[in-house]
Amino acid sequence: MKSIAIGELSRRAAVKVPTIRFYEERGLLPTPVRTEGNRRTYGEGDVRTLRFIRHARELGFEIEDIRTLLDLAGHPDRPCGEADAIARKHLADIDDRIARLTGLRREMQAMVEQCSGGDVGECRIIEVLADHGECLSDRH
């Protein structure tokens, strides 16, 4: 097995070195083998694992969910129900965030449209920000 230095791992997985150390500290990446000079060395499996983690993070998965998904990936004969449940929960969380952002956008759009461009003393944006009761919704 060819040893890979942390800089090469960083380059190949498109992840910064401090991020690699962060994932090691969190137990998502195994503790690397050290050379006699105390340098960390990695293997091809670490490249694949780090790419998996990076992709999962890009999709917004939380660290604990990634930990579980990595464990599941290491047991290919297990049923995928747990992975499915994690993905479905994550999708529901995304849908909830989209709904909240849509409400925030409506609120901001209404504030901007109601601004007459006159004096600050009569500014609808300032009025709404000063009095939450003026908002269209209390969902944000």
Q: For 2-6, 24-28, 67-71, 123-127, which range has the lowest pLDDT when averaged over its residues?
A: 123-127
37 in a domain, yes or no?
Answer: yes
Task: Specify the DSSP element, H or E, that contains 88.
Answer: helix 81-114
Per-residue tokens: 68: 């579980």
Task: Specify the DSSP element, H or E, that contains 40.
Answer: strand 40-42
54 in a domain, yes or no?
Answer: yes
Burial group, residue 2, by CB count within 10 angstroms (0-12, 13-18, 19+):
exposed
21 in a domain, yes or no?
Answer: yes
Task: Specify the DSSP element, H or E, that contains 34.
Answer: strand 33-34
Domain of 28, CATH number, reads: 1.10.1660.10
How many domains does the chain divide into? 1
92 in a domain, yes or no?
Answer: no
134 in a domain, yes or no?
Answer: no
Alpha-carbon distance of 96 to 90, in angstroms, equals 10
* Mean pLDDT, the chain, integer: 89
Query: 17 lies in which domain range?
Result: 1-61
- pLDDT tens-digit profile of 45-63? 999 999 999 999 999 999 9
127 in a domain, yes or no?
Answer: no
pLDDT for 138: 55
Residue tagged 């909830």 (tokens): 96
pLDDT for 21: 95
Q: Reduce the DSSP state of residue 5 to 3 states and report it.
A: strand
- Predicted TM-score (pTM) of this structure: 0.78
85 in a domain, yes or no?
Answer: no
Alpha-carbon distance of 24 to 8, in angstroms, equals 16
Find out whether 52 and 45 touch, Cβ atoms under 8 Å.
no
31 in a domain, yes or no?
Answer: yes
